[in-house]
């Protein structure tokens, strides 16, 4: 069974789908690994390390021509054309509906295992790439905030005077939000956090932050641990009640997302106008329209004397560890997909395991 690891080509993407340490383990399990030359260079994993781990260095066509193609980001149409008939694709597919990339892959008979569709159940935690990458995003987002904020984040006391800790608010307490809280607390910020799901209150307090409690008249708790979309009335009340808390913040790290929906607007322009000059908004939802509509995807802009940071790929900023986490996620999924035999790895019936059955994107789901 041949596994292909091509180089990621999306602008700004530095991650790679597997690393030498994991490649060595897959080779020991009987997989043949084909790595495109230079695939890991941007994340500091070098061709010689892959060769030493037992991989074969190949060109782009050979990596995409493997039985199973391992990727981080969705392929292009040109890349799909390089895939073998009936091959497997394992990676993020980043789609919520009809999609020409998915249609092209299915037209070639490819089977798609979408990493974002891994169910959030205990047995699948080691394969949950959304969580592993969101964890990194929450950490890196706070570091980005500290860099752009023109003042100290912690309490600082010196012979020349002292400064109070920055007031930092985290919006959305999922995996990224929880890591953002933990990182901001380690940096010494005065941290508050808000989420529409009432069950997150205990998690916020456990990390030493203060929960922001709002009475919206309805719960935002959805299925699978995700938030659900609020009614229009609740959204309006949420904006109104949050406004005073946000206007007092020096740094806002906003992570609120609803799967396959535009990002909810939590930070209005009037709130930005009221924030102290030099404050910073880190909008992790910028790619989906932003929790602040003044944010611009993949840009850092200044509006009303407030800096809005709209980076859309924080895991790529920590590419070595992000790649390592992702590689282990994929290896654990492969161990669920295949069983060992004297002849090498043998594909299981994916429909008989709820993890692979849920992760596979079938043609009728396009």
- Whether 167 is catalytic is no
From CA 75, how far away is CA 85, in angstroms rounded?
15
The DSSP-derived string for 209-238 is: PEE-----SS--B-GGG-B-PPPHHHHHHH
Q: How far apart are alpha carbons 107 and 122 in whole angstroms?
A: 34
Q: Strands 88-91, 111-114: parallel, antiparallel or unpaired by DSSP?
A: parallel
Catalytic residue of the set 43, 131, 254, 279: 131
Q: Is 45 a catalytic residue?
A: no
Closest CA to 133 of 309, 13, 313, 333: 313
- In angstroms, the Cα distances linking 274 to 75, 238, 244 are 43, 17, 9
Q: Which residues pair with 213 in a beta bridge?
A: none
Q: Which of 130, 191, 170 is nearest to 291 (CA)?
A: 170
Is residue 95 within 8 Å of residue 101, measured between CB atoms?
yes
Backbone dihedral angles phi then psi of residue 5, each to the nearest 5 degrees: -125, 95
From the list 128, 190, 195, 283, the catalytic residue is 128
The verdict on whether 226 is a catalytic residue reads yes
Active-site annotation holder among 73, 117, 120, 274: 120
Whether 87 and 106 have beta carbons less than 8 Å apart is answered as no
Cα-Cα-Cα-Cα dihedral sign, residues 348, 351, 352, 355: positive
Do the Cβ atoms of 166 and 151 come closer than 8 Å? yes
User: For tokens 């940071």, what's the residue?
Assistant: 309
Active site residue 128: yes
Single out the catalytic residue among 108, 185, 226, 239: 226
At CA 129, angle to CA 123 and CA 132, rounded to 5? 95
Tell me which of 59, 125, 231, 261 is the catalytic residue. 125
Helices (H) and strands (E) counted in the chain, each on its own, are 12, 18
Q: How far apart are CA 66 and CA 31, in angstroms?
A: 11
Cross-strand pairs, 239:
none
- 37 is annotated as an active-site residue: no
Catalytic residues: 120, 125, 128, 131, 226
């Amino acid at each position: 069974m041949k596994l292909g690891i091509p180089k990621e080509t999306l602008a700004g993407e530095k991650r790679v789908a597997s690393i030498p340490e994991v490649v060595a383990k897959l080779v020991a399990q009987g997989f043949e690994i084909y790595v495109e030359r230079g695939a890991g260079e941007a994340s500091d994993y070098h061709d010689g390390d892959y060769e030493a781990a037992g991989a074969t260095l190949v060109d782009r066509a050979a990596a995409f021509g493997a039985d199973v193609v391992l990727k981080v980001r969705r392929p292009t149409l040109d890349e799909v054309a390089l895939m073998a008939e009936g091959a497997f694709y394992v990676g993020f597919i980043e789609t919520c509906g009809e999609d020409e990339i998915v249609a092209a892959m299915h037209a070639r008979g490819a089977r798609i295992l979408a990493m974002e569709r891994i169910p959030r159940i205990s047995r699948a935690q080691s394969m949950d790439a959304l969580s592993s990458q969101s964890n990194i995003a929450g950490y890196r987002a706070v570091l980005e905030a500290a860099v752009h904020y023109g003042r100290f984040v912690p309490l600082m006391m010196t012979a020349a005077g002292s400064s109070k800790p920055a007031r930092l608010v985290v919006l959305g307490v999922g995996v990224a939000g929880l890591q953002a809280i933990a990182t901001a607390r380690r940096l010494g910020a005065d941290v508050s956090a808000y989420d529409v799901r009432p069950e997150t209150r205990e998690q916020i307090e456990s990390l030493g932050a203060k929960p922001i409690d709002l009475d919206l008249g309805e719960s935002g708790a959805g299925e699978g641990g995700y938030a659900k979309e609020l009614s229009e009335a609740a959204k309006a009340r949420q904006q109104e009640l949050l406004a005073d808390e946000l206007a007092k913040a020096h740094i806002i790290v906003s992570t609120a997302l609803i799967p396959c929906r535009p990002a909810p607007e939590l930070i209005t322009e009037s709130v930005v106008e009221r924030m102290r000059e030099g404050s910073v908004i880190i909008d992790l939802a910028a790619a989906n329209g932003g929790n602040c509509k003044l944010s611009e995807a993949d840009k850092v802009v200044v509006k009303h004397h407030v800096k809005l940071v709209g980076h859309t790929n924080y895991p790529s900023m920590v590419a070595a560890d992000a790649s390592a986490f992702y590689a282990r996620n994929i290896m654990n999924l492969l161990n669920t997909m295949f069983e060992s035999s004297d002849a090498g790895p043998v594909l299981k019936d994916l429909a008989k395991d709820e993890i692979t059955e849920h992760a596979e994107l079938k043609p009728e789901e396009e």
